[in-house]
Amino acid sequence: MARTIIPFGPQHPVLPEPIHLDLVVEDERVIEARPSIGFIHRGLEKLVEKKDYVEFVYIAERICGICSFIHGQTYCQAVEAIMNVAVPPRALYLRTIWGELSRLHSHLLWMGLMADAVGFESLFMHSWRVRERVLNVIEATTGGRVIFGSCKIGGVRRDIDADGFQSMLKELTLIERDIREITRVFIHDNSVKARLGGVGVLSRQDAYDLGCVGPTLRASGVAQDMRQLGYAAFKDLQVEPITRTEGDSYARCAVRCEELFQSIDLIRQAIAKIPEGEIAVKVTGNPNGEFIARTEQPRGEVAYCVQANGTKNLQRFRVRTPTFANLPAVVKLLQGCDLADVPVLVLTIDPCISCTER
């Protein structure tokens, strides 16, 4: 049978961000997928030469519009490690709380997009309806909806008082109730299960060999979560990686659904244990050294490599984003799949192309 190449993207209804795939198909079956990226490169890493290391927090946060806070936090962790800054414990707890809120809204966004990709419009709208509640909590505590702007080198900019925590807990109860209703549809509904079950199976060995990270890796049975490293306040909290063994699109969806409850639980744990005290320390001087910081973003592990040479501008700054690590898995998953499954398989890794291309 003759082979045909079908271009997929960079503009495609299922893609929130631009990525291009050349799909080599025989009839309706994909034989090979050749990805090409670079449509949304902004040169953010180069900006370290223009902005000093303190101002660069704002740029690090803008690498991604969804996991913005964790980008800023990882950057701050790297610079703080180079400068030997002891961040106050309260600031570490606040970072943990905001990081988990960020994971909540990111996973809810993905669930909406996935529901949209499988043609379940009402579920899409209601996933985002719940996400709006999370965004309100974020706005009330940080001042921003997706760009938090509350992390800085040496601590955080804002504190949350006891009333703020009480209203956050109250709102979390409502959010948890809504999430429970929505995830019941994602996990038990016949149509969702039939559409995602058995689609794009990634074996445990393949997931590990291809260097997958985050929910994509955990859905294939590898219990790896960077939060177990104990950064920020995670050393004091109970974090167990959520895993599934099936490795298909349904398992990746189920892992994210369960992680929503894990995040809510972590926020509650953090609020219960948060110590009193300062929220930031004064940082003076310029960084000199090199450090690689690793954190768990909603999409998986992110690694920040920061090199500093004692001046106010960093010498080199490099980010390895989770989507970049998961792209080889997409190429593997697309080999031999049906053409109609391509949108689902691309979405299943929760691609964030803006992060990847920076």
Partner 1 sequence: MAYFEMSRLALKWALTKPPTTRYPFEARHALAGSRGRLVFTKDNCVYCTVCAKKCPTGALVVNRAQKKWAIDRLLCITCGYCAELCPKKSLELQTGHGTPAITKDLEFCG
Residues that bind partner 1 in the complex, under the rule CB under 8 A = 51, 55, 58-59, 120, 122-123, 126, 129, 132, 136, 139-144, 147, 149, 157-158, 181-182, 184-185, 188-190, 193
Q: Please provide residue 187's backbone torsions phi and psi, each rounded to the nearest 5 degrees.
A: -90, -35
CA 323 to chain centre: 9
Give min distance, CB of 134 to partner 1, in A: 13
CB of 138 to partner 1, least distance (A): 10
Instruction: Give the C-alpha separation, 158 to 156, whole Å.
Output: 6
Nearer to partner 1, 73 or 220 (CB): 73
301: which strand partners? 296
* Smallest separation (angstroms) from partner 1 to the CB of 121: 10
Cβ-in-10-Å burial (0-12, 13-18, 19+) of 4 comes to: exposed
* Least Cβ distance, residue 61 to partner 1 (angstroms): 9
Task: Give, in degrees to the nearest 5, the angle at Cα 354 between 353 and 357.
Answer: 80
Strand 3-8 relative to strand 20-26, pairing: antiparallel
Residue that the structure tokens 């390895």 belong to: 320
R_g of the chain, CA atoms, integer Å = 20
Measure the CA–CA gap between 300 and 310, rounded to whole angstroms: 31
Nearer to partner 1, 7 or 143 (CB): 143
Task: Count Cβ atoms below 10 Å from residue 55 Cβ, excluding itself.
Answer: 13
Shortest Å distance, C-beta 47 to partner 1 = 10
CA separation for the pair 345, 234 (Å, rounded): 32
| Nearest residue (CB) to partner 1, 107 versus 126 | 126
Sheet of 20-26, strand order: 3-8, 20-26, 29-36
Smaller CB separation from partner 1, 84 or 161: 161
The answer to whether 332 touches 317, Cβ cutoff 8 Å, is no
User: CB-wise, 84 or 285, nearer to partner 1?
Assistant: 285
Nearer to partner 1, 158 or 294 (CB): 158
Identify which of residues 27 and 181 has a Cβ nearer to partner 1 in the complex: 181
Count the residues in the chain.
Answer: 358
> Of 160 and 308, which has the nearer Cβ to partner 1?
160
Closer to partner 1 by CB, 19 or 192: give it.
Answer: 192
Residue 349's DSSP bridge partners are: none
Residue closest to 309 by CA, chosen among 5, 21, 8, 48: 48
Q: At its nearest, how many Å lie between partner 1 and the CB of residue 190?
A: 5
Q: Can you say whether the dihedral through the CA atoms of 321, 322, 325, 326 is positive or negative? A: negative
